[in-house]
Amino acid sequence: MEPILNVKNLTMNFGGLKALDDITLAVEKGQIAALIGPNGAGKTTFFNCITGIYEPTEGNVKITPPGKPTQKLQGLKTNLVTEKGLARTFQNIRLFEGMTVLENVMIGRHCRLKSGIIGAMLKPSSQKKEEKQAVVDSYEILEKIGLAQYVNEMAVNLPYGAQRRLEIARALATEPFLLLLDEPAAGMNPQETKELDDLIIWLRDNEDLSILLIEHDMKLVMSLSDNIHVVDYGRKIAEGTPEEIKSNPDVIKAYLGDESEDA
């Protein structure tokens, strides 16, 4: 069976800087995978390349959505990648602060609505029915994420941990099969991190999602991940289970440095 995400020889150059260097990585259906590495290792650049924000210099990005044929992603714009079934959150929260919690999730539903610009202008009965259904669907997502109590609250007024969860809710509204989380626990307190841990597992088990996350919280990574990919200076240096990664000398060196190199 083909991986749902299959990235081969991905390279990204910014002028003379090679931000990604020949990275090959796969995510299997139903898997929680992690992409880890020191600051500046190229993790977010990797996400940007597979979601259409950057066009990679070299390499192939293919997806095999459940029940569908394998498709190429490179060269597609971000909105088309989303329509294909990849959704992501960002390292820095990107909510529509002047909109309500419900409206933020409804924005995510946009790519699944059938009515175009003409429909939005004329407001036929089918358009109104679709809009009502989008409200219902968005509220159901908030219930699943545990944010229903904030439904009419302005997004900017939410506690920090709830804002992180709202980003996930908006991503879920696009109906993805693969969810990409960029440092979802950043800035969270221990209780919020524990709730996030439980939420990610619940999403995998109950929403038929596969998940690839970037995260610096190693306790979270080790407790959640089925498979871990490690990058350093744009190159992939290790892959394996949490137990294998913990004892990998290349990973230890990347995070802690090599004492033999000290003056």
**Each residue of 10-52: pLDDT tens digit?**
999 998 899 999 999 999 999 999 999 999 899 999 999 999 9
Q: What angle do CA 63, 11, 177 make, to 5 degrees?
A: 20
In contact, 107 and 95? CB cutoff 8 Å: no
> Measuring CA to CA, how many Å separate 163 from each of 59, 92, 98, 101, 214?
34, 11, 13, 9, 18
The CA–CA distances, whole Å, from 127 to 44, 108, 117, 121 equal: 37, 17, 11, 10
Q: Which amino acid is at 198?
A: D
Strand order in the sheet with 235-240: 86-88, 178-182, 210-214, 32-36, 227-232, 235-240
Tell me how crowded residue 213 is: count the other CB atoms within 10 A of its CB. Answer: 24
Domains, the chain, ranges and CATH? Answer: 1-85+176-263 (3.40.50.300), 97-169 (no CATH)
Confidence of residue 118 (pLDDT cuts 50, 70, 90): very low
pLDDT one-digit tens code per residue, 86-109: 999 998 888 988 999 999 999 988
Interval 180-236: pLDDT, tens: 999 999 989 999 999 999 999 999 999 999 999 999 899 999 999 999 999 999 999
